A and B are shown apart, each in its own frame.
Chain A
Amino acid sequence: MTTTTTASTTTATTTDRPSEPRRAKQAPRIGLSAQEWRLYLLSGLAAVYTAAWLALAAGVDPAPVASAPGDAPAVAPGPATVWIDQLPPAARPVVVLPPGWMLASPSTTVTTVRAAIPATRATPTPRRVRVRTRSS
């Protein structure tokens, strides 16, 4: 069918044309090169990363940062160091010390003592190993 339009009238005439061969229906094709696929993938990952980062950052309270060395903190701190023997006995924490450590106090002269590790020496192993038990 052919349609001709003029300014005043519209007439339509029908002319039979030889029918064209019908095309098979095809899925729409996305014409992307491998390079373009890579770019899309990278931008997708970047978006996920950014979203995750923002979500995490929203859940963390930022630590208060003094803006200048002279800024007064919001809460007055306690003494930075308390000697354990200045605490009343009932308030002293239970302290478990590794071997060789000691509790220090202002009046203690701390001397470093290290456990001497004995030197080992290779000794010829007898062909037939025997162990001797005795009182020691």
Chain B
Amino acid sequence: MHTFRAMNTDVAVIAPGRSDRALAPLAAEIAALFAASERRFSRFDPDSELSRLNRATAPMAVSRELFLAVRRARSYAIATHGLFDPGVGAALIASGYDRSFAPGALDRPTAGAAAPASVLQLELDAATRTVVRPPGVTIDLGGMAKGLTVDRAAALGTGAFAVDAGGDAMLRGDGPDGDGWIVDVEDPRDPARVIASLRVRDRAVATSAPNRRWWRVGGAIAHHLIDPRTGRAAASDLLQATVVAPTAELADVLAKTAFLLGARAATRFLDGRVGLGAVLVDRGGGVALVGEVELVTDVGCEVADA
């Protein structure tokens, strides 16, 4: 296993059965991929391509990677009825998330507000890969960019191979022993505990919760999961949503969507969809399993199969 730091999180490259020495060149390649992706998609790097697009006052020709990412983001916004929308960057900044997160770094006495904005307001021209960004639309690809980078990195390996970027992970193959990868879902109320363990094969997982990226605004708590319908931090009856999906990008998108939907609507939204599963933790500590998830064990909590 090799690890490195990128996108403000710890990334692990796991290839069971391969020596560290044999894995080193691939791990270095994946680290370079993450660095390039961060350079392109970071909202916090003023020189990144995304930051230049977010400042552009005229039509801007962008790279193929950014163009395709923005186009997919629009598709996700449509598919989730606007619940996943990376056009909420201005609302994130207004709420205080204006720099790379560190505990306490974003605390402030007051926060601003931003007019609702959507990636659907962008105009895209595929022929010239040009994006026209109306004023007020600030794009934050955050977790989606991490997911797509995990997917691209995982595609570089063969056999049982995993790339885990701080909980957004793509797990390829049948796992270390041929009987699947074991994924522990962290308890959002106590990070030292595991709330459920899943067996996963050739799937990705991602988790959304406000328990880590939060900050103080006056006497209130703000977090990074913005509800595009209000432009404010989402109020959900869920503490955490974990989604199992064919790709890490999709898992990230659907985990955010599930969190915003809340327990009941998220269950309806995800259940019955081929290749998708979820573990939803509600405010009372109840755990619901939705769709295609294989539970290995549960620790300390009552598990209700939705």
Docked pose: A119 CA to B5 CA in angstroms:
8
Q: A115-B36, A119-B31 are in contact. Are A131 and B162 (CB under 8 A)?
A: yes
Chief secondary structure at chain A's binding surface: loop
Name the residue of chain A whose CB is nearest to the CB of B279: A133
Nearest-CB distance from B101 to chain A (Å)?
Answer: 10
**A1 CB–B CB distance under 8 Å:** no
CB-defined contacts of A135 to chain B, threshold 8 Å: 167, 188, 207-213, 240
Q: A99-B49, A117-B35 are in contact. Are A125 and B1 (CB under 8 A)?
A: yes
**B134 CB–A CB distance under 8 Å:** no
Interface-located stretch among B9-17, B269-277, B298-306: B9-17
**A23 CB–B CB distance under 8 Å:** no
Q: Are B208 and A94 in contact (CB under 8 A)?
A: no
Nearest-CB distance from B181 to chain A (Å)?
Answer: 6
**A72 CB–B CB distance under 8 Å:** no
Name the residue of chain B whose CB is nearest to the CB of A121: B3
CB-defined contacts of B97 to chain A, threshold 8 Å: none
CB-defined contacts of B31 to chain A, threshold 8 Å: 117-120
Q: Are A134 and B166 in contact (CB under 8 A)?
A: yes
Q: Are A133 and B4 in contact (CB under 8 A)?
A: no
Give the residue among A89, A94, A113, A120 with the most B Cβ atoms within 10 A.
A120
Nearest-CB distance from A78 to chain B (Å)?
Answer: 24
Nearest-CB distance from A98 to chain B (Å)?
Answer: 7
Interface-located stretch among B61-69, B76-84, B227-235: B61-69
Q: Are A94 and B2 in contact (CB under 8 A)?
A: no
Residues of A108-136 whose CB lies within 8 A of B: 113, 115-125, 128-136
Name the residue of chain B whose CB is nearest to the CB of A111: B47
CB-defined contacts of B194 to chain A, threshold 8 Å: 132
Q: Are B35 and A118 in contact (CB under 8 A)?
A: yes
Docked pose: A26 CA to B1 CA in angstroms:
81
Q: A96-B129, A123-B2 are in contact. Are A115 and B183 (CB under 8 A)?
A: no
Nearest-CB distance from A91 to chain B (Å)?
Answer: 14
CB-defined contacts of A134 to chain B, threshold 8 Å: 166-167, 185-186, 191, 207, 209, 212
CB-defined contacts of A116 to chain B, threshold 8 Å: 35
Docked pose: A118 CA to B39 CA in angstroms:
12
Docked pose: A97 CA to B64 CA in angstroms:
10
Docked pose: A39 CA to B190 CA in angstroms:
89
Nearest-CB distance from B190 to chain A (Å)?
Answer: 11
Contact with B along A81-102 (1 / 0, CB 8 A): 0000000010000111111101
CB-defined contacts of A119 to chain B, threshold 8 Å: 4, 31
Q: Are A131 and B129 in contact (CB under 8 A)?
A: no
CB-defined contacts of A133 to chain B, threshold 8 Å: 167-169, 183-186, 205-207, 242
Docked pose: A136 CA to B12 CA in angstroms:
14
Docked pose: A59 CA to B183 CA in angstroms:
66
Q: Which 4 A-B pairs have the closest CB atoms?
A: A136-B166, A135-B209, A122-B20, A134-B186
Q: Which residues of A contact B (CB under 8 A)?
A: 89, 94-100, 102, 113, 115-125, 128-136
Interchain residue pairs with CB less than 8 A apart (29)? A94-B129, A96-B63, A96-B64, A98-B63, A115-B36, A118-B4, A118-B35, A120-B2, A120-B4, A122-B1, A123-B1, A123-B12, A124-B1, A129-B16, A129-B175, A129-B176, A131-B14, A131-B181, A131-B183, A132-B186, A133-B169, A133-B183, A133-B184, A134-B186, A134-B209, A135-B188, A135-B212, A136-B165, A136-B167
Q: Which residues of B contact A (CB under 8 A)?
A: 1-6, 9, 12-14, 16, 20, 23-24, 27-28, 31-32, 34-36, 38-40, 47-49, 58, 61-64, 128-130, 162, 164-169, 171, 175-176, 181-186, 188, 191, 194, 197, 205-213, 240, 242
Known pairs A129-B182, A131-B171, A134-B185. 15 more at Cβ < 8 A?
A96-B129, A98-B63, A118-B34, A122-B23, A122-B24, A123-B2, A123-B3, A129-B175, A132-B194, A133-B186, A133-B205, A134-B167, A135-B211, A135-B240, A136-B9
